[in-house]
Amino acid sequence: MRLAIRVRPGASRAGVGGRYGDSAVVVKVNERAVDGKATEAALRAVAEAFGVRRADVRLVSGATSRDKVVEIVGDEEELARRAEALREG
């Protein structure tokens, strides 16, 4: 499944949840947007939030942007349920 995320680097409290725009899920990370550290932290956070291994989450687009698209490998129905729950908050 592909998922749009909005990364908020340098957050005081890391976490996944909330909606940005129409459908993107907000991913707050403590790391700063330097040398890809925030992106890697966001991918780890998404993996944890969806209950999959980090290797099952791949960056599709947005390497240098706060708006990214990731691909998550797993049971499509379960991933869709979790994505909707995370968007709600």
pLDDT, tens digit (0-9, with 9 covering 90-100), for 55-73: 999 999 999 999 999 999 9
Average pLDDT, whole number, for the chain?
Answer: 96
- Judge contact between 22 and 41, C-beta under 8 A: no
Average pLDDT over residues 1-19: 96
Q: Can you give the pLDDT at residue 11?
A: 95
- For the domain with range 2-88, which CATH number is right: 3.30.420.40, 3.30.1200.10, 3.40.47.10, 3.20.20.120? 3.30.1200.10
- Specify which residues 15 forms β-bridges with: 28
Q: Where are the domains of the chain?
A: 2-88
pTM of the model: 0.94
Angle ∠(46,8,86) on CA atoms, nearest 5: 40
The region that residue 3 occupies, defined by phi over 0 for left and psi between -120 and 50 for alpha, beta otherwise, is beta
pLDDT above 90 covers a percentage of the chain that reads 97
The stretch 45-55 carries a mean pLDDT of 97
Residue 89 pLDDT exceeds 80 = no
